[in-house]
Chain A
Amino acid sequence: MSANLVDRYVFTALRRVPEQQRADIDRELRASIEDAVDARVEAGEEREAAVETTLLELGDPDRLADSYADRPNYLIGPELYPVWRRSLMMLLTVVLPIVVIVVAVVQVLAEDAGFGEVIGSAIGTIINVGAHMAFWVTLGFWIIERTGAGKDDINRPWTPKDLPRYEPGALTRVQFAANLVWPAVLILALVLQQFTFTEVPLLDPANWNFWWPVLIGLIVLKGLWVFWVYRLGTWTRQVAVVNAIHGVVIGGVILYLLAADKFFNPAFPGFNGVEVDLEGWISVAVMITTGLSIAYEIFDVARKAEQARKGLGVKVPGTGNTYTAS
């Protein structure tokens, strides 16, 4: 019975020890256990009880095996943990929302999905894509942790330059990226809706002669403007003025097209066969949203420029602190 217990213990520990060390550890571990048991028996213990206490002191065989194999008993160590956390936070707070928005836009355009459907699939996307992000990032870091490959590349030493910039107006790298992704998504959606989302394109194909290329050009200009602001590192009056002009122009184009019934494709099947003038109502809704969001954007940039000019501080999110550049 007691020999049995030792066998079970040793075999369990050896399962997780590298092959080439097994025979040696087997012999040594048995000898050590028997030495300890003998010492206990000599001190007057029952043999069976002595075996049990000895094994109890050696503890969990899996843990012992980890120790023999010199394996870390953690998933991601303290060296990589901050990088892992930062990467995952970036994915979940920046990339995930973008994916959710893109999926929602595609659904509305392609499948003519209703409000409930869009919300439902947004929740599904958050859970599904979020789980994938968490899993693959963690797996990647785990592999780096175990193999050490590329560890120095992603874990480069921190310098004060890495501190986030709180200067009024300066775009952080993440904001910059998000601001570039948005125009790209818009252009992509505009082009793709012509070909793939629906059999009959949602937007008026006649505009490809002139208005859609103009709109794409204007969106590209917005991207260049973002790049300009990022390089400049601060909001200035010029930035605000250019933004306002751009907003008025792009807003004017969209509003004109909507008002003149040239925006949506009149042949789009979703609009027909309904009693109400669906196209007209949607046009009004899009006009209001476009107008409001462009007006807000112009105001927001102007406010930031004004703040930067006066040297007012900015609120650092989540801390209640106000940072003032001096």
Chain B
Amino acid sequence: MTTDATLASHLQELRRGTVVVASLTVLRTPGYGYSLLETLSESGFEVEANTLYPLLRRLESQGLLTSSWNTDEARPRKFYTTTAQGNAIADALRTEWARLDEAITDLSTTPVKE
């Protein structure tokens, strides 16, 4: 495996799960699939449509999101909103993220013990 491929696989490993936190956070204001995809990629989350759309349904079946069809516009769209439970989970995940960030920073700044 080349260095690039190794790096790519580790990055993928590291990013797995961040999309869930990001989606639950963004959808505190209701949004539909494509809009969320746009928002996420603008904010620097590399996520594929074929990962995101099924993920939204999975989060809905877990009770972290609710959905409703908006047929006011010409194109009917399914809007997702984060539930209270989803918010609580997102909070817990963000806390964990912050803790990990702190821990990694500590590790990389602590001088190596002799």
Contacts and interface: CB of A to CB of B under 8 A. Distances in A.
A32 interface: yes
Nearest to B35: A35
Nearest to A63: B50
Contacts, number: 53
Interface in B56-91: 57-58, 69, 75-78
B78 A28 contact: yes
Contacts of A57: 48-50
B33 interface: yes
Nearest to A64: B50
A36 B78 contact: no
Interface residues of B, number: 19
Given A27-B78, A28-B78, A31-B75, A36 B54 contact: no
A162 interface: no
A271 interface: no
Given A28-B33, A31-B33, A36-B34, A67 B78 contact: no
B50 A58 contact: yes
B105 interface: no
Main secondary structure of the interface of A (DSSP, over half): helix
B51 interface: yes
A29 interface: yes
Interface residues on A, range: 20 to 34
Given A31-B76, A57-B48, A57-B49, A68 B57 contact: yes
Interface in A34-66: 34-36, 39, 57-59, 63-64
A81 B20 CA distance: 29
Nearest to B36: A32
A64 B54 CA distance: 8
B97 interface: no
A67 B47 CA distance: 15
A70 B62 CA distance: 12
Interface of B: 32-35, 37-38, 48-51, 53-54, 57-58, 69, 75-78
